[in-house]
Amino acid sequence: MARRSTMSGWVEQLQGLGGYTFTASQAESGTDRSSIAVQHALRRLKEHGKIVSPRRGFYVVVPPEYRATGSPPASWYIDELMRHLKQPYYVGLLSAAAIHGASHQQPMAFQVVTSRPTREMRAGKVTIRFSMNSNIEQMPTTAIQTETGTMRVATPETTAFDLVRYQAAAGHLNNIGTVLAELAEHIDGRALVGIAHLVKLPDVQRLGYLLDAVGESNRAAPLAEWLKTRNPRAIPLLPGQPARAGADVRWHVRPNFELETDS
């Protein structure tokens, strides 16, 4: 891209070439201005709503049609943002479920799973929230086309396990049940078994129990067979809460919550 003397002209040229993200260092090398002048110019562009910065040093171009919300959708720039942070990632939880067609409960924030604790980011009215998984690079994902490229998205099976693991981020059990009921048609029972060893055994038990509860016992059958070989202990459905002594024989889960879904 040719060098431009003004930051506004450089950003317009970037957008004209289909680019929507850049770093401060790229802006400096792309213009004939000093570092201090570039920072002043970027600040003015931010004040006019033409760019937004979800993380220091990383900028997103805001097209006119997104000026009211202050940012294009996170899907436009999440891949470049995580590359800038040098962190593996995938779009997960309710955001992934919605992409796979389980859109009854639209997430309030764009949800991302990454390898280390990462604080929430805001870009205009767009919020990006992070959960952490040390096995992230082993969890199955799929590349989904976006308006500006591609992004990594959890498969339906990865999404299902994450919904159970990160219950608070997923809206707790009733919401998880509703989402699983919609997501189930996209879940391959054998694929669940293929990644069961990557998650904690209680998450396997709770997911299986919830799939049964929303009428997907057949889809959960391969997971139940796998669990038989693991000699699981009885666990409460809702972690950290008292549960009665009896547990179901298939999943060894002690019900301590009355599940109500919107499905």
Q: How many CB atoms lie within 10 A of CB 198?
A: 15
pLDDT given for residue 49 in this prediction:
94
CATH of domain 7-66: 1.10.10.10
The predicted pLDDT at position 30 comes to 79
**Can you list the alpha helix ranges (DSSP code H) found in 184-255?**
189-196, 201-213, 217-228
Tell me the C-alpha to C-alpha distance, in Å, between residue 174 and each of 115, 166, 253, 261: 27, 13, 16, 5
Where in the chain is CATH 1.10.10.10? 7-66
Is the separation of the CB atoms in 192 and 223 below 8 Å? yes
pLDDT at 5: 62
Site of tokens 């799929």:
142
- What is the pLDDT, as a whole number, of residue 105? 67
pLDDT digits (tens, 9 = 90+) for 102-135: 877 677 899 999 999 999 999 999 999 999 999 9
Predicted pLDDT of residue 35: 83
Indicate if the pLDDT at residue 199 is higher than 90.
yes
Burial readout 77-105 (b: 16 or more C-beta within 10 A, e: otherwise):
bbbbbbebeeebbbbbbbbbbbbbebebb
Q: pLDDT band at 257, cuts 50/70/90?
A: confident
pLDDT for 174 beyond 60: yes
Residue 249: exposure state from Cβ atoms within 10 A (0-12, 13-18, ≥19): exposed
Rounded Cα distance, 244 and 240, in Å: 13
Residue of 182, 236, 183 whose CA lies nearest to 209: 236
Cβ-contact 183, 156 below 8 angstroms: yes
Task: Give me the amino acid identity at 4.
Answer: R
Three-state secondary structure readout of 25-94: HHHHHCECCCHHHHHHHHHHHHHCCCEEEEECCEEEECCHHHCCCCCCCHHHCHHHHHHHHCCCEEECHH
**pLDDT tens, residue by residue, 210-252:** 999 999 999 999 999 999 999 899 999 988 877 777 778 899 9
Q: Is the pLDDT of residue 2 over 80?
A: no
Q: Is the pTM of this model over 0.75?
A: yes
